[in-house]
Amino acid sequence: MKNLGYMLFLAFGLVACGGGGATTSNDANTTPKPLIDSSLLYDGKKAKLQDPYRQYLWHIEAPTNRTFGYNYAIAKDSSANVAKAWEITKGEGVLIAIIDNGFDVNHEDLKDNIVLTYSVVNENSEILSEELGTHGTAVAGIVAAVSNSVGTIGVAPKAKIVLIQDSQLTTDADTLKAFEYAQKSGARVINCSWGTNNVSDAVAHKIKELYDEGIVVVFASGNDGYSLDRYGIDDESELAFVLGVGSSSESNTRSSYSSYGDSIDILAPAGERIGIVATDDYGTHQLGLREGMLENGYTFFSGTSASAPIVSGVVALMLSVNPDLTPKEVREIIITNAQKIGGVEYIAGWNRQYAYGKIDAYKAVLAAREYKK
């Protein structure tokens, strides 16, 4: 299995529980209802966007903490231009599923945006932050940490999230169950900060089914720093109906560890020297205990595992302003409006190591809002 991460390292009031299937009708032509009613995706709270770690969020905007920016040589144009996109939307009305190995569901920056939890192994709502579980906690925070005057802010702080725990992701049966639950939940985006380098036909078929149903599936490209086009590599991130995501650095270049290839679509910030601020477990498996803790519950986190949730968050912002977009249209908008970075040659807008460039949240959201079929 591919390394899960290159680590430098409820107003809403409830977590809707249960692993049951979607409600169905006697009418065979009726689409099953999602597990979460769409009315629950709005909470009416105003996002203040003044959380204390915003000063370090160089993937969101140029860091306002100039000493931090100077010490880590963070280029002023290295962000994904998310703060500008927040002037239009913060992800209201969109549900994002995150498939990962464990989550801290009681984290102060996550709990108010969690609407469903599901354990693939136990087939119930009881998910745990266990050994390596902090990986899922960090990914979830990058996607949708709440703006609540503590900690950090997610790319789509007003979106809601479904947390699906599969601690190993080693069998097709478990992977299919995870995707099926995400599908039943009503999620429009599925984040996968992992990969196998050997996707099966069954899993590829399922992901194509999700694509055809209008669900955007995002996969990290991996952290081995090599081409995925080599013989014997057939990764989920390379599928034509997936958004494959690599990593960009503080210097606004491709991160050296970021795997690349003919089928990767876009880069997003994750760093080389410092990473980006993410939520962290409170327990004994904190990333921060090993990798430069900010304080209890927060850490720096990098790798394509951090890049993928940035893209998932941007997709949520896009769908918030235009829910009728198809996955194909989402991809076209993202790659058409990407920033060309690295000082390399792009042929027909594309470079083998840089894909179509780095995601630009503001341009993507603006184009999504104005998109006409």
Q: What SS3 string covers 134-189?
A: HHHHHHHHHHHCCCCCCCCCCCCCCCEEEEEECCCCCCHHHHHHHHHHHHHHCCCE
**Where do runs of H (alpha helix) occur along 23-170?**
66-71, 82-85, 134-144
Tokens representing residue 101 in the block: 């190995």
Q: Is the residue at 32 inside a domain? A: no
- The Cβ-side half-sphere exposure at 134, using a 13 Å CA radius, reads 26
Q: Is the residue at 9 inside a domain? A: no
Mean pLDDT of the chain: 86
pLDDT digits (tens, 9 = 90+) for 153-185: 999 999 999 999 987 666 899 999 999 999 999
Domain of residue 58: give its range. Answer: 38-370
Tokens representing residue 38 in the block: 């769409």
Distances (CA, A) of 12 to 95, 158, 187, 188: 14, 11, 17, 20
pLDDT digits (tens, 9 = 90+) for 180-199: 999 999 999 999 999 999 99
Q: Is the residue at 11 inside a domain? A: no
Q: Is the residue at 79 inside a domain? A: yes
CB neighbours of residue 93 within 10 Å:
18
Axis crossing angle, helix 304-321 with helix 327-336, rounded to the nearest 10: 110
Q: What is the pTM of this model?
A: 0.88
The H or E element spanning position 191 is strand 189-192
Q: Is the pLDDT of residue 244 over 70?
A: yes
Q: Is the residue at 29 inside a domain? A: no
Q: Is the residue at 31 inside a domain? A: no
Using DSSP's 3-state secondary structure scheme, residue 86 falls into coil
pLDDT on residue 16: 32
Mean per-residue pLDDT, 15-36: 46
pLDDT digits (tens, 9 = 90+) for 111-170: 999 999 999 988 889 886 655 467 899 999 999 999 998 999 999 999 999 999 987 666
* DSSP 8-state assignment for residue 47: P
Q: Is the pLDDT of residue 2 over 80?
A: no
Q: Is the residue at 28 inside a domain? A: no
Domain count, the chain: 1
Using DSSP's 3-state secondary structure scheme, residue 295 falls into strand
**243-248 and 216-220 beta bridge pairing:** parallel
The H or E element spanning position 244 is strand 243-248
Distances (CA, A) of 153 to 9, 98, 143, 308: 18, 17, 9, 16
Which CATH number fits the domain that encloses residue 87?
3.40.50.200
Q: Is the residue at 8 inside a domain? A: no
Task: Name which of 71, 66, 52 is nearest 273 in CA terms.
Answer: 71
pLDDT on residue 293: 55
Question: How many H-runs (helices) and E-runs (strands) does the chain carry?
Answer: 8, 9
